[in-house]
Every structure is written in structure tokens, then in C-alpha cells.
Structure 1
């Protein structure tokens, strides 16, 4: 920051969950105060963290910081001398304000601007002016990552997983914008911004978190650099050439507030980032099912017909969505009385009976209408964003002339949360949840379709300071509203289009207005992996593509991919043909049905993954290199990914494909076809035949996956369905896995420890179920009915079950010698108690 700023500079609030500690020192039981001085002179300071293996070298002239580990430089700051800080300034005395000029009708304003050289103080964008009250205030700093050439992160862009060099001047931009049908392979800013960059090399992962919510640009340059391996004497120091990636951050305003995450392993980075910004909120179980959305389902009869269509075609689903047309003239928290005249009946008689849910859209712009209660209350209380003259900012969006709620104001968020009360939101029920769209914020006739930067928010901060936080704050307020509606008992579900660092605490995100084209299906995989690495596990892309009409093969392939990604929603633009899963012929319906049903059978595994994301910040969907950080061949893979640690998924993203080249990582790993149970031979790139029926999914040896044995109409109707355990043995003929259970909807898992965490272990022909957390107090009658063990080399003579406080029992089994699969059948092993199976 400036030592004595002309006025305060913006410092991002509410994103950090607590004051950070020195995470790299936690294992030593120390914090920042434990840093000790090894060397101190007029120009240099050397600090160490408990031992001399890790040191910080700070030089004053030129200013530079280096982190040295075991004699090697890991990263350095300002090594290229690009530290930049524009100080705030008082406006030139000769410059009259725009309001003064308007009042006086000055005919010489243009001449005056030229005289004062006001290009730094005012920028023109067509008919718009951006007045910088205290001049330009940009900041910048460079970091050099020594020995690193693979960098990832800084979502959201429709780009490759590996970040590209920007030497051509096409830099990565973090600036949340409403972009309809964004371009593939573009570094432009779209709906979200998380200023987190990860770098990886064998042996170390590092991260840079640049906490700034104004428009930010990121330059990346990878080069070969001469490194000096330091020692205690200059004579014994050595030189070698290593790759180096230089990263330059530039933001329009604010302060330099940066965190270096030291790893050293990928999962350490995820935990360290979560220590700063929080973990993924544990979603309600229903939200992991399939969501059916369209702009727009016409009326209550349409909703009822679509709902019945899923049952008629034996396709499970959990949530139907209503877009802007369900409201009274795009007035949010209202209903179109002609089309949705009895919304409570629709929810309770159509959806609630089948344990299904409704999601409605709630955008941040509010129609300018004195008779609209939301508008009149917000107007009276001064809850809208202001323009630079102090009047309510007004822009055009879906309702026409609109004002924009100032969610940066805690009082506005409190008031907005109260609007979800049943007494306020007439026609809503406990099964209604929320979708925050257009919250970049979108302004149809604004510069780049968003709010002017000199608009004014709570605390007299300009919009330029808080732009990338706006959607973050709306989702925060919406999630709080749904929690408050339930008396603090129920978990919310909120999907947001605009997001920032920390948005994972409040719900889910998606990749916005994609197109029904193959390249958008393909780019969705690296987009989702990048978002996942930035802490937001609950993410997805519109299945089928929002814009345009997908050919049947594309739609099928998108369902198959989406079913194995965290957030699973089909969505379509109002100008597209109807796209319910049964409208593309019987054969395509069958394939889509199978994909959705497979998703539902995998819900126990997915829910356990989300528990891990919530508890210890492990991404649900993760790049292959995260699981195999030493394997160079995985570092650039973006056409396949790991779903948890157990499943390798390869979406088919091109038409008329009959075979794909799948990379099987880990020379010591065993991989099994998830559906056929066949062991896949070889390591590295393997050619796998494919048909339209499915996409390649492989289970990793050494894992146990819990599944449901059958599928119901919705997740809540599957609570008592028995489990199957899919055990895949590794080279040591061992496997481990987890099952997490709670009631699926409340906060009792947190406040009353009403949860169950079980650990399954297979070793030396003994398979056991043990409690993995003694604090859990959740009870269930559900049982394990079947166990498949893949990789058993010979048929056993007997299998017996030892159950806590019970006698040993013989277990029925079959053995398929051709594929080495042992199936234990007709079991009735309660998932909440200890038991052991002995295979002899």
C-alpha cells in the first residue's frame, strides 16, 4: 500500500475466512513470528523458517524477494523489476468536474481538457466517460517461478488447461463480463475471475494468489534461465540452465495483496488456498442429481408435462428450472399470474410428491417500477448502486430500465436475504432454490455490457474496485437467504454465473452461454478442471450447449460427459428446439437414459468426493497430473481427467469416433474397465474402441467405489436403496475407499455430528469396514447387498462374514475366471457397523 495515501485504497474484504498463518511452517508448530534472522546488513536480509533448508532472501536495492529451498531458488519477486504502483492524486485544480461543466454550460470544456492533459483522468468509450476522481491507480508485480514451465489456473477463460505464453500481447484478462457465445481459445475475461495461478514440476507445486477484485491482466513468459545453485562459498556454487516462468500481474486499482502457496504437493496447495478462502460448501444431495432447464418452460402445464415425461421414459431427475419468463414482467420474487397462477400447487402437488425440487432465476437488476415492492423498498432505503453524481445508477437489462442492488453493502445483503422468507416471497416453498444470473453485472447498453467503472458503491468505493466481487456478493446474500428461510437448518443450493475467489463457500458455478458445437464440449473439460483447481469443485457446463441446436450425436456425447462431472444440468436457449432427453429417437433416448442412470448409481461415490472437497479441499474433478505429479506425460493432458482418485474419464468430444487414445498413467498402476471389469493392459497411450453407447471410464486399482444397486426417480427416493461396493485391486492386491452418509439436506452433519464416515480396506484377502470418524452419530438401516472384487487371481474355496457381536456367516459368491472377478451376493451388511469378510 502507499505509506500515506491521499485517501484509502481498496482492500478486498470478506474473501479471506481468517487471518492467514505460515502454512509451510504448520508441521513445525510455528507461524510467521518464528522466522529468524540469519543475515542482516544495509542491503540484504535473510530469514529462515525454523531450519536453514528454507530461506527468504530480501534485498533492498533493487528490491527483490527470493525463496530458497535447499540451496535452490523456487520463486522470486520483482526479479524483472516490474513492481509498479500509481499513487492516488488530488484532481488538478484547473480541472472542473463534469457536473460543474454541465451546470455552467462550458463551451470550452474540450479546450480545458486538452490544457490539463486529462487523458489520465478521463477515458472515453463512445458516448461513455470513465471519470477517475483521483487519477490512474494501477499496480503491478512480477514473479519468477524457477524450474517451472507448466502453469495452470486463473479461471475463467475458454482456453487450454496449460496456460499459454502471452508474448504476442494477448494476455489473460480477469474481468467478469456477460459474453453471449464466448469464443473458444480466447484469453478474454468472461463470467468469473479467480486470481489464483498454480505452477507444477516434478517434486513441487506452488501457487500465487493475487487478492485483487479490479480488472486484472496476467502476462506469462516461459524461458530458459541460468540458475545458480548456491552454497556456503562462492567457489563451490554451480550453474545450470533450467526453465523459468515469469508471471506479471497488473490490476487497475487496489493494493498489492499476494499470497505464495508453497505446497510442495498439489493437494497441499489446495488445502493452503482453502485455509485462506474456505472450502467447497457441502451441497444438498439432490443437487448432485440431474437438472432439467430451459429458457423457458412456458407454464405450469409445461412443467407438469416435462416432469411426467421423465417418468414415462424411466429417466431420473431431481430439479426443474424456471428462467426469466416465469416472473411478472421480469420482476424477481414474483410470478407470471397467467402462466404460473398457482405456483404452490405446482411445487407441492407435482414436484414435492416425487421428492423433486424447483430452481428459479433471480438476477441482480431490479425493474424501475414504483409499484414493484422490491424496487420501492430498495429505492427508499438507498440500496442501489449510485452513479458518480449520487443518483441511482440505471441501465438496461431484461426488464428494461433497471437499477442494481448494491450487494457490497452488508445491510443490502441482510435485506435481500429476508426476501426469501415465505411471507415475503409469495408462492415459494421449501423446495424452491435459486439461480443468480447476469450478475457480472450485465448492463445491455454499458461499456462491454457491464456497469461503468465510476459508478459508486457502499463506502464510496468506485465500481472499478469491486467489479469482480459483485456476483460473489449476490451469491453470498442468496445462500444466506435460503438458510435463513429454513431457520438455519437446511443447506442452500445457489448457482451463480459470476464468481470470484471464495465463491465455493456459497454454492455452484457453470461455464455460461456455450454453444451447441463440438469444440465447446471439448473446451468444457479444461475449463472445468481449471475452475476445480481454483477451489470451486461444484462446477459444470450446460449439457447440449446453450446456443443452437445440437445434432443427436453431440447431445448424446455431452450427456455422457456431463453425467461424470460435478454439476449436471441440461439447458437451452429460448430460440432452440425443444431438447428433453426423449426427443431424439428411441436409441438416443436409451443411451442418454443409461448415462443419467449411471450418474445416479454413482451418487454415493460423488457425495463422498464432495465431503472430501468440503472437509480437506480435494477437487472433485481433477487433472490427471494432480494424481500423478511425477509423471511428465500427464502435465498437459486435458482431454481426460480424474473423478476423485478412483475413476479416469475420457469424454468423446469429436463426431463419428470409433476409437480413442487414452493415456493410462502410472507404470505401477492397474486400470480396469469400469463397466466390463476387464483389466486394461499396458501403460501410456492405449487405443480403446468406442461406440455411441458409452465413453471410456476406467477404475484405478487400489480403490473401492460405493454405488447404489438400483436407481429411483430422484435422489431422495433412493435413500434406502442397497449399496454395491466395487473393489479394484492394485499390484499388491489391496484397495481402500470411503463412504460418507448424512441426511443429505440439513446442517446436522456439522452442528450435531449426524454423519457417518466408513473406511473400506482390502488386504491379504480380508475385506473390512471400519468407522473412519468416531465423532459421527448418524444411523442408517441401509445395507451393502453386493461386492465385486476385480483382480482376484483365483477362485476362493469359501467366503465368510464376521459381523460385530455376531457369528461368522457363509457368503454366497461366484467367480468369473475369464476376467478375474469375484462377486459376493445376497449380502445384508449394515453400512453403519463394523464387519470383516475372509476370502480363503
Structure 2
């Protein structure tokens, strides 16, 4: 890896003075005497693109990361030439461009510095491959913190760290190991309570140094390509993340079953074993929605085939599993076995779909089937062909979801673990080597998979899962954090990775619960399930080499604990589904690190363990053995202990008891948490009433619940139900207002409301300004009532 200092030593070139300036609508161009052009694009008042060319020439402007529907448009734009600099002003920020050296300084409207160049843009020729190593260095201010960057296995605050984005099969990776499975070159900076973001959209191997080598410098660079980055101004972290998410996109709503509990192993086979697994879930009444088939369902690991000895009638098996409430998810890898009698291989050969080396021969690499060739998924024709291969599996066999693994691409028995750098790619009409295409290879594979699965599951919604990803991959699929290990350290890693991924625009994410490599004991497995049910994607997966890893594998006590928490996951499905709705509509991360939740509180800046599940549930996993509780930090405000309704004033670190059957879970005061009854799988029961837990506050809090048919696309035609609640509490009264949107008619007609922490005994109840008899709403003591789902205002008054 090229270090910062090495770059400084080796023929660095810098922009010289500006000799030309041009303003063309939303673009502003600055040209220097030595041929550097800065193209500065105003996307929005708080979102700016900086793109640099050398030798007066830009590369073709193309990116896989960007969302087609990105929001564009600004309110104000003024460009002024002053003596030492140009000044660009929007309604949110000012940008100073130095005439002498093209350095940039970005300030708010009060001239408070947000982000500024140190050396700024500089470059050197890459003598090994041609082109430039492009680099940007920024000033790291005192007290500045950094977050994001995808699935890095390190502290949530990246200050003092150096990371590398080169999508890598990192089996049994360790804490702080670099690089990992994903390349998400986006970070959030936080300086004096002002948040900003930088997205370096460059698919080559990229590096970020967060004041590691020099304590006052943060820098990022790439082995090739352009210096092309986007700057987002907050000033809140949430605003930065939402802006980045808007730029790179969000997925469609998944089918609700995809948010249930999933069970996987390498591998469940033959068919008898799969049916026994399904039967055990139902017999033990442990909810589960999906069972995964790893590579052993295939004939000799050939993708899109079935081993007829292990699975003599897969269509019938999938149908029988579905009748019992299980969806089937199958794995598909990119490596295609070299076998002239194998139809997929022959089709790709006949059409020239495989990747080639620089001098023409096909690229070959060893994976599970042996010697394989690899489709070029950066070719749109190949993607269309690949999507079509799913027809038999989805349309004919009835498989419900697809899991793309090994798509870094992983290659065995070579030092690099991946394809040769001279492999050629189409890159959607911008031919390049694997140096540029590597980080997007898995992304384009799963994009092709998504398109195919979506086509053949219609009118249902697709479910697709990937291991490798680049920025923007979240548009197509869920992801997980790869081959982790059954250790307490990896439980900690999983927690920070989920928070980091959500802050990096990729919320539909989970880990292999219990650990993929090695074997957890019952305590670790239970603690991991307790964490995993609060992650957007919830799946147990293991290598199977060291024993069983099903919910019942560790004795009755652990089984009961696991069942309790999986049941809680199913109760919270409407809350989780609403979180997903907010994520895809507003870019709001489904999990929030404490610093995202309250950046003004400096105590949150270095917290790793606690996080917000949605906006109103605070979770803190237990991450060490033999614990009877743990210390945790509760952010400011009042929080109800989920298990016993004890109210704690936040802004403090406290010891919270949490024996093996509990972890610390708190609910924000004023929250209204919707819940379904426990089901063994999504759709098992008709929801006859929506339970809502109402947590009193003396003040105002807003909550909501989104619902639709749980699958299909009618929600896009207005067939959804969005209920927004405004709760206002006073010393002797509680008022709940409801605002409804959408024309989906929910199957239930009533809310069953349970009140927590009411400081008064209910004396009178008004619904839409009419006094009601407590008997008519089944007032149970002081805390449970049943009301029509269609009320506009509910008013409780104390005696």
C-alpha cells in the first residue's frame, strides 16, 4: 500500500495559479496554468461536487454509485471574483477558491470553517499502470471526529485510523483488519458540532487516513481514476447521511417476510434435513420465515443446477416449505465451472460473456467447482443474460430469494484472493482493467440478480442478498458483513459494523448471528441473538464445521431465551417496517449511533455499544461472558426500561442489570410503539388489533406506523396506511392526535393501547370531543384501553 509520505516523496504535482474561469449554470470551471481544471457543480445549496482534471482533460463522466432520481436544485448561487480568491455562495455555505493554488475552503454563512484543504488536490503519475495516483488532503481540526466508511471492523469513531477500500474475501477477519468485503468511500466529519460529509466516488483501490500519519491532516487517495468527490453540509449528521443516501439511492420496500428471522448454514442438505429443520422450528414454536440453501444444493457447485440425489423434487419441497410458512433462499456465486456439457458455461462461451485477460485469453480462477470463468457483469448484455438465468429457479421452482456470495470476486489459491489486475471489463461502454472494475464487480452481479429476481417474482417483491458492495449497492439488495467468527470480540465488531453501515447509507444489513467460523457456546449465541434481532437483516449462519447452530442447539435455557427474543422481533415488525419506510423515503438510517442521535452531547462521540433501533428504542448489547449487567450511556431525555418501566433521566452512564435472559432496552418517553401478536411467520395470523405501547411524557413526541399488504407493489399506487401520532402530555392529561394518509384498509379495526408511566389515574376519556364510557373502551385498570383505529383525537384526563 502506498503511504501518505511515499506519495509526498515521489514526484508530486500540484495545481498552479488560476488562469481561466467560467460559470455555466450549475457548473463553475477553474483552469490553472499547468492544466488542472476544477469542475465545481452545485447539486443543492448544501451539496457540492468537486472534480479535477489534469492535462486539461476530464475522463468520461460515469459512475455506478449514483441514483437516477437524485434531488437537484438550489435556491441561491452567487459567484464573485475577489483579489486572492473566488467566492461561491449558496443559501447554506460559502466556498473560497484560492487563485494561487486552487485550494478550497468551505465555511458556513457566519464564516465558521467547516472543511478546508491542507495540500488540497495533488497527484503523481502511476508508472506501473499509467494514469495518476490522485490525492486530496484536508486539515484535521482539533477535536474533529470521523464516522462512516461502511463495514470497517473498528471503533465507530475513525479518528487516528487508516483504512483501505478494496473489496476482499476476508475469512475470519479480525478487529481493525483492512480491507474487508465492501468499498464505501464515504465519511462524516464532525467539527465543533458542525457535521459534513465527503464521498470520494472512485472505484479504484482507495485509501483514507484520518489523522493517522499526521495528526492535523486527513487525506484520501486512489490508485487511479479521477479526484472526484462530493461534499455535503449538515450541520446535523443525519442531514449529511440523508444527502449521501439521496445521491446513492435506497432500495424498494422489501417483502415483510424478509424482515423476519432467517436460518442458514453451510449447508442444509439433503431434502430430509431441510424438512427436519423446518419441522423443528414449528414444533418448538420458534418463529422463522426463511431457510437458506448453500452451495451443496447444486450439482457439483454449478450455479443454476440442482443435485437430484439430494433434492429429487426441489419444486415440491419449496411448495411444501411455503405451505408451512417458510420462504426458500438459494445461493448463487459468480464463478462458472469450465465444463462444455454445462449449459450456463456454454451459453456464456457462445456469447463472449466471460472476462478476458489483457492479451485476450479468458480469465480463469479456482473456486468451489474447480476451475471457473467469470462473467463480466459490467457489460449490460451480460447482466441481462444473467438476470434471465433465474427464470427456472424463481418462476418454475418457486424459490423466493437469492443470495450472491463470493462476488468480490473471491478466487482461491492465489495470493491476491481475487482476479488479476489486467482482466478487462466493459464498464458499461468505458473499457477498463480490473483495477477500476474490481470494487464494483459484486455490485454489478447483484444488480443483474436483482433485475432478474424482480422480473420473475413479480407481482411479489424481490429479496436479494450480497456479500460484496460498492456505494449505491443498497439500491438492489440487503447485505451482511461476511465470514465472521464465533467470539465475543466479533459480537462487538458486529455491533459497530451495523451502526457504521447504516451511517453509510446502507441500512438493510446484518451479521452472521452466532459467528460463521468456529462454534459459539450457548451464552455467546444467546447474546448474539439478543443483538441480532435489533438489526435490520436478521439471520443465523454458520460454517457447520464445528457443530449445530440452530436456536435449540444449546439446551433448553438458551432455547427459551432465543425464542423470547425472536418473538420480540416479530412483535416489533410494524415498528421495523415503519423504520424501513422512513429509510427509503427520507434516507433516515434504520440504526443510529449515539453521535448521530445527539451530536451536541460530546459524551456520544466515542460511544460504540449503544445505538438507537429506529428513532425511539435504545439498545445496548451485553458483549462479555458471565455478565449480570453492564454500564451503558443513556442519551439526554427520559427513558423507560422496556422490561420493567423504570424511568431513567439520560445524560448519564449507569449500571443496568441484565442477566442472561435480558439486555438493556429502553424506550424514549412519549413514544408510541406499534406491535403485532407473535406469529410463527409473517402472514400466519390475521392482525385483529394493533397493539400500541404508549410511553408518557410531559411534553410532545411524534410517532408513526406504516403498513401495507406486506408484499407486492400496490403501495406505490397509494394502497398503504401511514398513521402519524402526535402525543402531548401534561401533568394531569394526555392528548393523542392521529393523522392518516394512504388508502390501504388495515385488517384490524381497533388499537389496543397500553399506557406506561401515566402520572395520574384516568378520570375522563374523550374521543373526538365526545366523552366515552370507560366500559366502552374496556378500560383495564389505569393502563389498557381499546379504541377505534379511526379516531382523530384521544384525550385522557386525570381524576
Q: CA deviation at 1:445?
A: 2.8
Q: Deviation of residue 392 (structure 1)? A: 1.5
Distance 1:496 1:682 in 2: 38
Distance in 1, matches of 2:394 and 2:106, equals: 54
| 1:620 to partner: Cα distance | 0.7
The Cα shift of 1:795 comes to: 0.7
What is the Cα deviation at residue 357 of structure 1?
0.4
Counterpart in the other structure of 1:273: 244
Q: Deviations over 1:277-327 (max 9, x none)?
A: 112432210011000000000111111100010111110000000000000
**Any conservation in 2 of the 1:64–1:76 contact (CA below 8 Å)?**
no
TM-score (norm 1): 0.84
- The residue aligned with 2:783 is 823
The whole-number CA distance in structure 2 between the counterparts of 1:682 and 1:479 is: 43
CA distance in 2, matches of 1:681, 1:2: 54
Give the drift of 1:619. 0.6
Q: Deviations over 1:238-293 (max 9, x none)?
A: xxxxxx85321111111111100101112211221122111243221001100000
Does the 8 Å CA contact 1:643/1:649 hold for their aligned counterparts? yes
Q: How does 1:255-266 map to 2 (within 5 A)?
A: 255-266=226-237
CA-CA distance at 1:622 after TM superposition: 1.1
Correspondence 1:309 to 2:274: no
The whole-number CA distance in structure 1 between the counterparts of 2:686 and 2:706 is 13
- Contact kept in structure 2, 1:318 and 1:714, CA below 8 Å: yes
Q: 1:291 aligns with which of 259, 262, 267?
A: 262
Deviations 1:683-712 (A, max 9, x none): 40111111111101000112111011x211
Instruction: Give CA-to-partner distance per residue, 1:520-550, whole Å, 9 cap, x none.
Output: 0011111111111011111111111001110
CA distance in 2, matches of 1:312, 1:578: 18
User: Cα 1:210–1:190, aligned 2, differ >3 Å: closer, same or farther?
Assistant: same
| 312-321 vs 193-202, greater mean Cα deviation | 193-202
The CA distance in 2 between the partners of 1:425 and 1:683, in whole Å, is 51
Following superposition, the deviation at residue 446 of structure 1 comes to 3.1
Equivalent residue number for residue 14 of structure 1: 64
> Is residue 194 of structure 1 aligned with residue 184 of structure 2?
yes
| Alignment correspondent of 2:579 | 609
For 1:688, the equivalent position in structure 2 comes to: 656
| Pair 1:249–1:551, CA change in 2 (3 A) | same
Aligned match of 1:428:
397
8 Å Cα contact 2:255-2:462 kept in structure 1: yes
Unaligned runs of 5+ residues in structure 2 are 1-51
Q: Which residue of 2 aligns with 1:771?
A: 739
- The yes-or-no answer on 1:324 pairing with 2:317 is no
Task: State whether structure 2 residue 723 is matched by structure 1 residue 755.
Answer: no
| 2:148 aligned residue (153, 159, 163) | 153
Indicate how the Cα distance of structure 1 residues 662 and 783 shifts in structure 2: closer, same or farther if over 3 A, else same. farther
Q: 1:215: which partner in 2?
A: 205
> 1:798 is matched with which residue?
764
Match of 2:158 in 1: 163
212-221 vs 783-792, greater mean Cα deviation: 783-792
Change (3 A) 1:405 1:801: same
Aligned length, in residue pairs:
741
- Residue 88 of structure 2: which of 47, 55, 59 is its match? 47
1:730 is matched with: 697
CA contact (8 A) 1:368 1:402 kept: yes
Cα deviation, 1:488-534, whole Å, max 9, x if unaligned, reads x3221111000111111112111110001100001111111111101
Matched position secondary structure for 2:759 = coil
**2: CA distance between counterparts of 1:361 and 1:340?**
15
Match of 2:705 in 1: 739
> Cα offset for 1:635?
1.0
Mapped contact 1:192–1:498 kept (Cα < 8 A):
yes
How far apart are the structure 1 equivalents of 2:209 and 2:318?
Answer: 50
Change (3 A) 1:649 1:76: closer
CA RMSD of aligned residues (A): 2.4
CA apart distance, 1:659: 2.2
The Cα shift of 1:11 comes to 4.9
In the alignment, is the contact (CA less than 8 A) between 1:333 and 1:425 conserved in 2? Answer: no
Classify the secondary structure of the residue corresponding to 1:813. coil
Counterpart secondary structure, 2:684: helix
Query: Hey, what does 2:174 align to over in structure 1?
Result: 183
Deviation at 1:146, TM superposition (A): 4.2
Q: Distance in 2 between matches of 1:550 and 1:808?
A: 52
TM-score (norm 2): 0.88
Contact 1:334 1:426 (8 Å CA) reproduced: no
Contact map agreement 1:280 1:613 (CA 8 A) in 2: no
Cα separation, partners in 2 of 1:154 and 1:814, compared to 1, 3 Å: same
Aligned pair partner of 1:626 in 596, 600, 613: 596
Q: Give me the whole-angstrom Cα distance separating, in 2, the residues matched to 1:602 and 1:267.
A: 24
Instruction: Classify the secondary structure of the residue corresponding to 1:209.
Output: strand
Does residue 478 of structure 2 align to residue 518 of structure 1? no
- Give the aligned partner of residue 697 of structure 1: 665
Which deviates further from its counterpart, 578-587 or 138-147?
Answer: 138-147
Query: How far apart, in 2, do the equivalents of 1:324 and 1:566 lie?
Result: 25
Pick which of 64-73 and 563-572 moved more: 64-73
Is contact 1:440–1:498 with CA below 8 Å preserved after alignment? yes
Residue 145 of structure 1 and its aligned partner are, at CA, apart by: 4.9
SS at match of 1:535: coil
Secondary structure of the residue that 1:177 maps to in structure 2? coil
Give me the whole-angstrom Cα distance separating, in 2, the residues matched to 1:536 and 1:804: 46
Indicate the structure (1 or 2) with the bigger Cα radius of gyration. Answer: 1
8 Å contact from structure 2 (residues 117, 137) kept in 1: yes
Contact 2:106 2:115 in 1 (8 A): yes
Q: Structure 1 residues 608, 38: CA separation in 2 closer, same or farther (over 3 Å shift)?
A: same
Select which of 709, 712, 717 maps to 2:679.
712
Q: Which of 680-689 and 201-210 deviates more?
A: 680-689
Cα pair 1:728 1:735 within 8 Å, conserved:
no
Task: Determine which of 158, 161, 173 is the counterpart of 2:164.
Answer: 173
CA distance in 2, matches of 1:321, 1:803: 53
- 1:69 Cα deviation (Å)? 1.9
